[in-house]
């Protein structure tokens, strides 16, 4: 029982970080019907940037978020302007899936050329420190990572719920044409929302660099998780993505303890298939034909 509770703690803490990455992915889908397959690669890119800042300038990995996130925001806006907006075809949605995949390959190639394929990890002085509360261990890095993720998610929520920009984003999600008629600059909203989605990847990437060793090929593993999270939560639903991410964290770490670590990431796919059988649109998704 002790082990299971410990696994649950770990699962929730890990799930928080994945929630951060997935929230950007699902937000971008909601606003412009684009699945950004490069989200995983962008997380890894941010992880490398953060790693370099930490290694060469001794900046604390958590503080690197303040530098990496704006950079990645600009990159995201640029990607949207150059690659995604210029898709002209009635099948722009499907094409965007492929073009972001190409982007992921490109990022993997550049990272491979710059950093080689050896595994790296940011290891600050407190990397192995942990607190013990009534017999349960809380790794410091993971708690900070979770706190950072929650903080960014809350900021994201406030941005979407309380600001004028957030209102125009939500209006574009609900009905792009009407939003445009009411004076929302849809192109601007799309570009900014894409940048926002990518900067959540940046924040998560800095954290990821401390939690797991990574190399340029790590994005395949990441994107398969992220995609399954957003599908399970329901495409376009940020809240759904958060719930699904925590659920994934829980299932994975409990299976790792109770059955075998080898099957932990597989178990999540089983949950996903079971839920899709009952609700093809995911937990909080709208039926696709209505979209």
Restricting to residues 174-213, name those near other proteins by CB under 8 A. Answer: none
Stretch that binds other proteins, among 9-17, 128-136, 147-155, 270-278 (CB under 8 A): 270-278
Supply the minimum distance, in Å, between the C-beta of residue 281 and other proteins.
Answer: 7
- Smallest gap from Cβ 153 to other proteins, in A, equals 22
The residues in 34-73 that bind other proteins, with binding defined as CB under 8 A, are 35
Q: What is the DSSP string of the chain?
A: -HHHHHHHHHHHHHHHHHHHHHHHHHHHHHHHS---TTHHHHHHHHHHHHHHHHHHH---HHHHHHHHHHHHHHHHHHHIIIIITT--STTHHHHHHHHHHHHHHHHHHHHHHHH-S--B----TTTT-EEEETTEEEEHHHHHHHHHHHHHHHHHHHHHHHSHHHHHHHHHHH-HHHHHHTT--HHHHHHHHHHHHHHHHHHHHHHHHHHS-B-GGGHHHHHHHHHHHHHHH-TT-HHHHHHHHHHHHHHHHHHHHHT-GGGHHHHHHHHHHHHHHH-TT-SSPPPGGG-
Number of residues that bind other proteins (CB under 8 A): 50
Q: Which of residues 73-112 bind other proteins (CB under 8 A)?
A: 83, 86-89, 91, 93-95, 97-99, 101-103, 105-106, 108-110, 112
Binding positions for other proteins, rule: CB under 8 A: 29, 33, 35, 83, 86-89, 91, 93-95, 97-99, 101-103, 105-106, 108-110, 112-113, 117, 216, 220-221, 224, 227-228, 230-231, 235, 262-263, 265-266, 269, 272-273, 276-277, 280-282, 285, 288-289
């Amino acid at each position: 029982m002790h082990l299971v509770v410990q696994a649950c703690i770990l699962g929730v803490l890990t799930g928080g970080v994945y929630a951060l990455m997935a929230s950007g992915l699902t937000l971008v889908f909601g606003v412009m019907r684009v699945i950004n397959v490069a989200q995983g690669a962008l997380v890894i890119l941010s992880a490398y940037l953060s790693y370099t800042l930490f290694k060469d300038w001794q900046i604390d990995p958590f503080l690197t978020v303040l530098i990496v996130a704006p950079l990645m925001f600009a990159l995201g806006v640029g990607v949207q302007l150059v690659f995604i907006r210029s898709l002209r075809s009635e099948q722009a949605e499907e094409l965007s899936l492929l073009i972001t995949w190409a982007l992921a390959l490109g990022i993997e190639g550049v990272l491979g050329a710059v950093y080689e394929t050896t595994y790296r990890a940011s290891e600050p002085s407190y990397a192995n420190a942990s607190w013990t509360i009534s017999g349960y261990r809380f790794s410091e890095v993971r708690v900070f990572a979770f706190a950072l993720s929650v903080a960014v998610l809350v900021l994201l929520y406030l941005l979407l719920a309380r600001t004028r920009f957030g209102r125009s984003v939500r209006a574009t999600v609900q009905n792009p044409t009407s939003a445009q008629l009411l004076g929302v600059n849809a192109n601007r909203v799309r570009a900014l929302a894409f940048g926002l989605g990518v900067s959540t990847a940046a924040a998560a990437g800095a954290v990821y660099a401390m939690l797991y060793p990574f190399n340029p090929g790590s994005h395949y593993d990441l994107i398969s998780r992220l995609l399954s999270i957003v599908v399970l939560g329901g495409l376009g639903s940020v809240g759904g993505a958060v719930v699904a991410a925590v659920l994934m964290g829980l299932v994975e770490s409990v299976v790792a303890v109770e059955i075998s670590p080898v099957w932990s990431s597989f178990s999540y796919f089983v949950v996903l298939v079971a839920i899709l059988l009952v609700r093809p649109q995911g937990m909080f998704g709208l039926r696709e034909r209505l979209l």
